[in-house]
């Protein structure tokens, strides 16, 4: 399996593990929110993966760096772990034409 295929597989596992739990709204906005496709809804989305998905991410990283020399492997592993971290909470907040996104509470 190529490095790109392993990366794609790891990202697919993480992406498939996210579930939505949109905030409730009141008033006339509720009808608009219900009519909007899920891709444009406000809400908070939580990671729904389990330890197996986390372990798969770490295995994919290890597969990618496994054949590198030790010094390069240490650097590559750290960078991959930082850049592919699992976001526990993703928030989407729309106000008119502006949309803000928060990852684990940070904008």
pTM, full prediction: 0.49
Distance separating alpha carbons of residues 55 and 49, to the nearest angstrom: 10
Give 33-50 pLDDT, tens digit per residue: 555 555 557 788 888 888
* Element containing residue 81 per DSSP (H, E): helix 70-83
Give yes or no for a contact between 94 and 40, defined as CB atoms under 8 angstroms apart. Answer: yes
Q: Which of 86, 105, 96 is closest to 40 using CA atoms?
A: 96
- Higher per-residue confidence, 68 vs 43: 68
């Amino acid at each position: 399996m190529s490095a790109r295929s392993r990366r794609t597989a790891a990202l697919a596992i993480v992406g498939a593990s996210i579930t939505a739990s949109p905030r409730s709204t009141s008033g006339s906005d509720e009808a608009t929110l219900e009519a909007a496709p899920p891709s444009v809804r406000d809400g908070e989305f939580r990671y729904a993966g389990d330890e197996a998905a986390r372990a798969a991410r770490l295995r994919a990283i290890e597969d990618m760096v496994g054949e590198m020399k030790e010094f390069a492997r240490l650097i590559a592993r750290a960078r991959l772990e930082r850049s592919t971290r699992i976001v526990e909470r993703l928030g989407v907040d729309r106000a008119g034409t502006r949309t803000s996104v928060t990852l684990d509470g940070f904008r």
